[in-house]
A and B are shown apart, each in its own frame.
Chain A
Amino acid sequence: MNDSHRETFEEFRQSFNYGSRTDLLFKFLGSRNLTDQDAAEFFRGLLEKLGAAFDSREYGALLDYVFQWQVRTYTPTEGAPPPPFRYDETPWTPLRKPLSQSRIALVSAAGLFVDGEDPLGPDGPTQEQAVPRIQEFLRMAPILSTIPRDADRRCLKVRHPGYDIRAALLDHNVVFPIDRLKELQSEGEIGELAEEHYSFVGASSQKRLLAEAAPQWATLLKSKDVDAILLVAA
């Protein structure tokens, strides 16, 4: 941008979406579903809620406000083109035994891996390096990382170019609820937790996921004798 260029409001809001001000929690500001007037109203309301939160010391309304705008912005508008992947039928495998006797494994699309086992190799990118490479990720086949049930939480890394990982860095359970599953197992709600759980980067080639990766993962999981899989999107 040269000195003579005055940034427009549209450029400003779009800069949060893989631009000069990238913030994946607020990338929706760059959505085509928003007009400049919509985005201006978002900022006005945000400041209003922020001011109220300073006084009340309650930030729930602020959180709810951002949530509502996220939902509004990502939800297709009436008359929008249909999503590229749509199906009429659904595969169906009923659970063979009660949950309290079932063996469960977790698969998260949130991009977790164990320190020292970077799926992109020892020189794999940092989060900051990965984000601008989102288009590369979207062309790649996803790679499944194995996370042992009892892995030390301090050894878990997160890298994903498509979502804001700040919460996952604080507590991986927000997208990989392994500790909650352990509690449910100890309370007898589920029979057993598998010894191995899994994660991959959901921002990946759907063609390659369907043709290459997912069928291999299904074979792997069959070999582990799990009865059911909990999948978490991020």
Chain B
Amino acid sequence: MCHVSVGHTARVIEGAGISTVCIYIRAFRHQAQALKPPRTLITPHLLGRTVGSPDDIMRQRGVTRAALRLLETASKPGTIAEFAPALR
């Protein structure tokens, strides 16, 4: 339900005039497709490790940076992008 809540929250905040970007895990990609948040980055990570594994600073930073860049690069509402590097 977390991914649904995040999608709904993003929609409301964006509707109020603030740009938003969400990070989802792959297992809930279908929720991003249904909820259509303005911009979503999908990560190939386990539930509860959305941004990356504990203390994997480089990967966490890569995910965070990729999500933020969507704020500048996504050109249409409902953009879904994949964080490409494999899990390992």
Instruction: Provide the residues of chain B in CB contact with A174, threshold 8 Å.
Output: 48-54, 60
Smallest distance from the beta carbon of A36 to chain B beta carbons, Å?
A: 21
Taken together as a complex, chains A and B put the C-alpha atoms of A232 and B25 apart, in Å, by 10
Give B11-30 interface residues, CB cut-off 8 Å to A.
11-30
A90-B38 CB under 8 A given contacts A168-B48, A230-B21: yes
| A170 sits at the interface (CB 8 A) | yes
Across-interface contacts of B15 in A (CB, < 8 A): 91, 93, 218
Residue of B nearest to A137 (CB): B1
Bin the interface of chain A by size: 35 or more
The minimal Cβ–Cβ distance linking B59 to chain A, given in whole angstroms, is: 10
Please tell me if the beta carbons of B51 and A231 are within 8 angstroms of each other in the complex: no
List residues of chain A with CB within 8 A of the CB of B29: 75
A50 interfacial by beta-carbon distance below 8 Å? no
A38 to chain B minimum Cβ distance, whole angstroms, is 15
User: Measured between alpha carbons, how far is A217 from B3 in the docked complex, in Å?
Assistant: 17
Residues 60-77 of chain B: 1 if any A CB is under 8 Å from the residue's CB, otherwise 0? 110111011101100001
User: Is A167 in contact with B8, judged by CB distance below 8 angstroms?
Assistant: no
Interchain CB contact (< 8 A) of B49 among A85, A167, A206? A167
Contact B69 A209 (CB under 8 A): no
Query: Given known contacts A63-B87, A164-B47, A231-B23, is B68 in contact with A219 (CB within 8 Å)?
Result: no
Flag if A82 contacts B21 (CB, 8 Å): no
* Residue A35 lies at the interface, judged by CB distance under 8 Å to chain B: no
Residues 22-46 (chain B) with a chain A CB within 8 angstroms: 22-31, 34-38, 44-46
